[in-house]
Structure 1
Amino acid sequence: MNILWDFDGTLFDTYPAYSNVFSQVLGEAVDKKEIYETLKISFSHAVHHYGITENQIKEIDTLESQLAPKDIKPFENAEEILKFANKNVIMTHKDRKGVLSILEYYGWDKYFADIVTIDDGFPRKPNSAAYKYLHEKHHIDLAIGDREIDLIPAKELGIATCIFQNQHVNADYYLSNYADFFKLMKDFTHS
């Protein structure tokens, strides 16, 4: 099985750290839980929702770049799936340096045959260009993400979809935790 992964909120639980960064920039008057929920839709949505200025975006970028890899935790049991897959690839809006620093910190860089980041020049999700590139190169069987914009490109290309920790998105498969992945795979192989 060849799996295309989203990074933030799918492989790594990055949203708590990002919510803290936004909270530092927006101030304590804005509820962190609300920030978290807004970021889960998309970074662009959060920027629009809070009317974030260019200067605030620069401040957010600076604070995010100061996060250490140890501040970003992998989701429990995700590594077992990475080991199981024939091939894993990532498509993320995160920059390559940030992705690699986290993967290398946890020793997960060895699991990925390809990584497409914002640095590669593809349009942002939900545009399917990066997914198409990865699918043509690696014959993707399943795309896993935590937001609707992670699955729209896969659906467009006829790739099976799995949503992680989000029951509000239409997907072929749903996972609340990665311990249930192998139960899901029994259904996948029989479909």
Structure 2
Amino acid sequence: MSKVLVLYYSSYGHVETLANAVAEGVKSVAGAEVALRRVAELVPDEVAASAGYKTDQSAPLIEGPDALADYDAIIVGTPTRFGNMASQMRNFWDMTGGAWAQGKLVGKIGSAFVSTATQHGGQETTLTSIHTTLFHHGMVVVGVPYSCPELSNMQEITGGTPYGATTLANADGSRTPSDNELAVARFQGKHVAELANKLAG
């Protein structure tokens, strides 16, 4: 039995939708248990409201950085901010110094998924920036192998990379995750859960 955490931040719901698909992938693996959690919003309520943030997300907030040690695998999701993770997610990981000092995440699986506004809007640099943080914690970083057929879809504009699942939101946020992108996200969750079961076993 393995315990997998899907930890995300979502401003407008795109990453939330991907997170749910990743969690579905985890649930499809026998012997894997999934927890879906969010990191805290840093934007004042009035600013979030005026910007149209999606605040009615059902996933509970993560209890704090110490909770990470309870899981065998952690899959991190965030929107892209200029080629890096959003400040809300960065803020959370910046509070994990105690876990780092004690080696609490060493040997656990880490993985990532993101949303960008455009096709070339920094999805891969954001994923690898998350990987860098996970590597510093001594985690075993996992992406999406090309055994996922949706990575090779050339029939449409779509997210999805070997570094992790992605979705393209459009600059105005009007595009929702496509079936192809959700399939990659489910594959990623399943792949991580299968590996977590092997390590935990």
TM-score range, shorter chain: 0.3 to 0.5
Which structure is higher in helix share?
Answer: 1
RCO higher in 1 or 2 (8 Å CA, sep ≥ 6)?
2
Larger radius of gyration: 1
With normalisation by structure 1, the TM-score equals: 0.38
TM-score scaled by length of structure 2: 0.37
